Amino acid sequence: MAMATRVKQEPVSPTSSSSRELCSPPPALNSSITTSDYEQRILLLLQGSTKPISDKEIQNEIPNLSPQERAEAINSLLKQGSLEIFKQGDKLVYKYKEPSSSSNIKGADNEEKIVYSIIEKAGNKGIWIRDLRYESNLIVVTLQKILKNLENKKIIKAVKSVSASKKKVYMLYSLEPDSSVTGGAWYNDQDFESEFVDVLNQQCFRFLHQKKEAVKNCKDGPIAAQNMASASSKDVWKYISELGISKVQLSVQDMETILNTLVYDGKAERTVLADGNHMYRAIESLLPPPGIVRTPCGVCPVFNQCSDIGSINPKKCVYMTEWLE
């Protein structure tokens, strides 16, 4: 099968190569059907196809559409940005094009639409103004003016990143920033909530310890007792949610982060089930925990985000300073 290559979107001629392939003239036209009706039918045809379709396929699906009307409908859809045109071998093929959200911005000029499209592609991780300037190829003054205008219209928003105190990233106004930007549940206005993490750590261990104590007199054997004393991260998440000790919405993944600190501290063990899920169980450590887990780094839920640069680094870590003293 010949590979489809994108071609410049010029008006389609009713006497294109594919239209000359027709062996017989089209049937009489139904005068009650308008060009816009044909456009909708072509769009539905393109949306329902997983691959580009040719003029001949359009003609087969809509037999009462003349070459002239087909060309007019396709040209209209091209102007609207509703389809893309490719060249496959010696014939033209068409593919449905998802509408861009930037076209819905009222009163926006081309430069604003370009900036909006770049920010939209960045998703909920956002994009730094330096990268935005590089991709848009706009001067700083123009770019800042556009960003301020879009912010005032509440189309985009600037979010401070925990990786650098003075660094702001831009994203769509309706998006919730990714945890890599805000630090997730463990940060509040770029400040690490150590007390909150300690409370969660204690409550998670308490839940696992209670399950272990409840099966001490189990008479069904050690394996059954071990299974009954184990809990999934979802079970722990449900317990913490019912306690109501968190003002922020915690996820099951957040609970796994806390449970892993218990594992590293030697207070719990983790087993992997056949389906890949993890189960946690409180244990009594026979040996004192190794040095690494007695340091702040050993129980830090944002250990992976710590580096030599940014706001999360060993030099600025107050918990490391307190521990050393």
Q: What are the per-10-residue average pLDDT scores of the chain (325 residues)? A: 53 50 40 65 84 86 85 82 77 76 61 85 87 88 90 87 76 82 71 81 90 80 80 90 82 88 87 86 70 66 77 78 71
Task: Give yes or no: residues 214 and 252 share one domain.
Answer: yes
Residue 290 resides in a domain: no
Tokens of 307: 């580096």
Task: Give yes or no: residues 278 and 198 share one domain.
Answer: yes
- What lies within 8 Å, CB to CB, of 231 at 6+ separation is 207, 208, 211, 279, 280, 281
Residue 16 resides in a domain: no
Q: What integer pLDDT is reported at residue 303 of this predicted model? A: 74
Q: Distance from CA of residue 154 to its chain's centroid?
A: 21
Instruction: Choose the final residue of a domain: 153, 183, 213.
Output: 183
Identity of residue 113? K
Residue 15 resides in a domain: no
Q: What CATH number does residue 154 fall under? A: 1.10.10.10
Task: Give yes or no: residues 123 and 163 share one domain.
Answer: yes
Instruction: Judge contact between 124 and 176, C-beta under 8 A.
Output: yes
Task: Give yes or no: residues 199 and 157 share one domain.
Answer: no
Q: What integer pLDDT is reported at residue 288 of this predicted model? A: 60
Residue 131 resides in a domain: yes
| Beta pairing, strands 156-161 & 127-128 | unpaired
Residue 51 resides in a domain: yes
- What lies within 8 Å, CB to CB, of 45 at 6+ separation is 53, 57, 58, 61, 62
Q: What integer pLDDT is reported at residue 31 of this predicted model? A: 42
Task: Give yes or no: residues 74 and 129 share one domain.
Answer: no
Instruction: Choose the final residue of a domain: 138, 154, 183.
Output: 183
Between CA 97 and CA 171 the distance in angstroms is 23
Residue 192's alpha-carbon distances to 195, 319, 322, in angstroms, are 9, 10, 15
From the list 119, 135, 134, 121, the residue with the least C-alpha distance to 169 is: 119
Between CA 204 and CA 260 the distance in angstroms is 11
| Beta pairing, strands 164-172 & 156-161 | antiparallel
- Three-state secondary structure call for residue 84: strand
Q: What integer pLDDT is reported at residue 30 of this predicted model? A: 43
- Three-state secondary structure call for residue 110: helix
Residue 151 resides in a domain: yes
Identity of residue 232? S
Q: What integer pLDDT is reported at residue 26 of this predicted model? A: 41
Tokens of 255: 């609970």
Task: Give yes or no: residues 140 and 175 share one domain.
Answer: yes
Task: Give yes or no: residues 175 and 200 share one domain.
Answer: no
Task: Give yes or no: residues 59 and 85 share one domain.
Answer: yes
Q: What integer pLDDT is reported at residue 280 of this predicted model? A: 92
DSSP assigned state of 108: -
Task: Give yes or no: residues 72 and 41 share one domain.
Answer: yes
Residue 101 resides in a domain: no
Task: Kindly report the length of the chain.
Answer: 325
> What contacts 24+ positions apart, CB below 8 Å, involve 189-196?
190/160, 190/162, 190/165, 190/311, 192/302, 192/312, 194/319, 196/246
- Give the angle 256-258-260 at the CA atoms, nearest 5°: 65
Q: Residue 218 sits in which domain range?
A: 194-282
Residue 89 resides in a domain: yes
Instruction: Choose the final residue of a domain: 137, 154, 183.
Output: 183
Please give the tally of structural domains in the chain: 4
